[in-house]
Amino acid sequence: MRRVECLLEEYFPQRLRETLQSLGSERLNALTEIRCRLAKPLQVIWQNGERKIFTEINLEQEEMDYLLLRLNQGSVYAWQEEYRRGYLTLPGGHRVGLVGKAVLENGMVKTQCNIAALNFRLARAVFGAADKLLPYLLQEGEVLNTLIVAPPGCGKTTILRDALRQFSEQMTVGVVDERSEIAATVNGKAQLDVGSSTDILDCCPKSEGMKILIRSMAPDILATDEIGTGEDVTAVEEALQAGVSVLLTAHGKSIEDIYHHPHLSRLTNHGLLQRIVILERKEHLGELKQIYAYQDGEYLPLLR
């Protein structure tokens, strides 16, 4: 994985680079986000939620143009699909979210132009992040069907990634990585470690990707990030019918959010999920708030 210092050298104009380097190497490489907004102050965020706004550094148009030129590698057309999805994946697993003016075609977003904001989300594989959780996800050597729930930025993907890495030592894992966020694949190579027995289907819609992986790779465990649509849930139901264990994540703050979700509630109403894990963010990403187990027709808390 590339350190943040290398990222700055490759993509950032001099004024922004020097400003960020003034934080010092240790603080710089502990960042989780660098936010660049046109005509607004540069902002950085750390894992514990601390943030710093450089009020004296308002991003100029020339600096935004420089960032985009480096990110596009000289050709915006080659990245048109990434612009449509709203993010780029960089070597090292870092992701850059981008927003500007949507270009529509037949009522659908074709791409974006006039980019006004970039969010560099800095990848950091945390080995051992899932250690406290894993004992709750295993029963007689089998992985229990699990949904990890948390608001954005609380470590769902970090926990999922480390769990997959560890499970892949004994089982075959299939990952549908629709947003290139779990494994951060670049040119066919995973930038983040998801395990030696893990097969990755990159940039594929979750609902279709789950079916493809079951047919093509016969995984013991099927994993994907941020499910929520009716199509996603149908694909999960089909995977369970095929005898595959699932590890999933979804946005939410509590188990009640899942109970009341128009689609995810199908998985709880029928007890298809054996574990529901609620994460929170206090001092660290991915702290366990509660784990629920399906027993006797209801979900009961395991943590006291």
Give tens-digit pLDDT for 141-170.
Answer: 999 999 999 998 888 999 999 999 999 999
What confidence tens digit (pLDDT) does each residue in 2-41 have? Answer: 578 889 999 999 999 999 999 999 999 889 899 999 999 9
Last residue of a domain, one of 68, 96, 121: 121
Same domain, 18 and 49: yes
Domain CATH number, residue 294: 3.40.50.300
Percent of the chain whose predicted confidence (pLDDT) is above 90: 74
Same domain, 138 and 81: no
**Nearest by Cα to 122 from 44, 10, 63:** 44
Structure tokens at 234: 């149908």
Q: What is the mean pLDDT of each run of 10 residues along the chain (304 residues)?
A: 80 96 92 96 90 96 95 74 85 88 90 94 87 96 96 90 96 94 88 95 94 97 97 97 97 97 96 97 83 96 90
Same domain, 152 and 51: no
Rounded to an integer, what distance in angstroms lies between the CA atom of residue 285 and that of residue 218? 32
Rounded to two decimals, the pTM is 0.84
- For 210, the domain range is 134-301
Same domain, 162 and 98: no
Same domain, 114 and 141: no
Last residue of a domain, one of 100, 121, 142: 121
Same domain, 67 and 210: no
128 falls within a domain: no
